[in-house]
Amino acid sequence: MPYGDVMNARVRSEERRAEIVGAALEVIAERGYRGASLAAVAERVGLTQQGLLHYFPTKEALLVAVLQERDRWDAVPDSQWRVDLLASLVEYNAMRPAIIQTFSALLGESVTEGHPARAYFTERYARVRASMTSVLRTAYGDRLPNGLTPERTAPLLVAVMDGLQYQWLLDPESVDMPGTFRDFLRLLGEPVD
């Protein structure tokens, strides 16, 4: 195959993958995590299930691709992050339960032996902790008002966000996720409205 054709084939394949990931996000939003079968996603993009498996060999691989795409959309350069923007992010998350449910369910599965999403979550946590450390250092320097270092505060910040999501997904009437997260920011010494 001439070089140009190889490149075109690669571009087409990447476009197709992106289309599948977009369709998966739609199916998740409509039917939830359990309803988002490979068959439903294949149907939406006009592929057979076999055809879809060519791009994503398992449902887990497709879901990881959906979460990676979400990470790209949500990405804020470290230099632009501010602690108060985290409150906005949690507020925003409370309006998109389907993707938060997908994240939380796959995170749960990922802690089991040899799970295909384990590497994604392990690397994501390392990256997010590093990013939050940098945000906290920009805001507070080497010590927060409460005396903790940014390095020691970052895993707490991430734990609060993830832990609250479970309580909220199970019982949205009882758990004010954004309000509880703002309480945590106040504990860190942030002046929050």
CB neighbour class for 19 (10 Å; exposed up to 12, middle 13-18, buried from 19):
middle
CA dihedral 136, 141, 143, 144 (to 10 degrees): -50
Is there binding between residue 108 and a second copy (CB under 8 A)? Answer: yes
Residue in 40, 139, 148, 192 binding a second copy, rule: CB under 8 A: 148
Residue for token pair 């990931």: 21
Residues 2 to 41 in contact with a second copy, rule: CB under 8 A: 32-35
E-assigned strands of the chain?
none
Where does this chain touch a second copy (CB under 8 A) — which range of 12-20, 42-50, 64-72, 183-191?
183-191
Span near a second copy by CB under 8 A; candidates 15-23, 44-52, 135-143, 165-173 = 165-173
Q: Does 110 bind a second copy (CB under 8 A)?
A: yes
CA distances from 23 to 62, 75, 152 (A): 11, 21, 39
Per CB under 8 A, residues contacting a second copy are: 32-35, 101, 104-115, 118, 121-122, 125-126, 129, 146-148, 152-153, 155-156, 158-164, 166-167, 169-171, 174-175, 179-180, 183-184, 186-188
